[in-house]
Amino acid sequence: MASTAARERRLVVGVSGSSAPQLAVKFLEIARELGTFETHVVLSAGARRSIELELRRDPAEVEALGDVVYDARDLGAAISSGSFETLGMVIVPCSMRTLAAVATGNSDNLVARAADVTLKERRRLVLVARETPLSYIHIENMRTVTLAGGTILPPVLAFYHRPETIDDLLRQTCGKILDQFGIENKTFRRWS
């Protein structure tokens, strides 16, 4: 569990059913290492399936990396209310279905509802959109979320930091996410 000081800094971490749940796992591991903020985690039904298929792990193992965990069906959870103060929310990875739900305000699960609340409260929302190639519909949904105040942060491979492993690539994306929330980190080698 995070310290008292860390509890004053909460970050909602949504995980949707896109490929690359490894990004969510690495982000939660780094958050735990840093210990400077509390993670409030919610996995969509699709995320649970992706974790089973791609990681060959029980979704409960991923949830165990978070400080507070919510059921995606619980639309009355703390993170569904604007009065529950947070730094904002990241959806990592963010499927195109979840992107569409956020863009249209279709809050049929807690991941989408928490994102909707984050936007309405003018808090930082970061979507780690995972799809390629992109259709016109995807691009328009990204445009809509961006105009509403969200940030689209696709996990684009970078090589300026001289990655040697997949973990290096995951850490670089996670560091970029943390940067969006002003969370100090030395997760990857920065350009100098």
96 labelled ligand-binding: yes
17 labelled ligand-binding: yes
Helix, strand, coil proportions of the chain in percent (round to 5)?
Answer: 45, 15, 40
Q: How far, in Å, CA of 27 to CA of 181, rounded?
A: 13
Residues in the chain: 192
Q: How far, in Å, CA of 123 to CA of 119, rounded?
A: 6
80 labelled ligand-binding: no
50 labelled ligand-binding: no
135 labelled ligand-binding: no
19 labelled ligand-binding: yes
Per DSSP bridges, beta strands 88-94 and 151-152 are unpaired
18 labelled ligand-binding: yes
Residue pair 44/98 in contact by the 8 Å Cβ criterion: yes
44 labelled ligand-binding: yes
162 labelled ligand-binding: no
Annotated binding-site members for dimethylallyl phosphate: 160, 176
Would you list which residues are annotated within the binding site?
A: 17-19, 44, 95-98, 130, 160, 176
Known binding positions for FMN: 17-19, 44, 95-98, 130
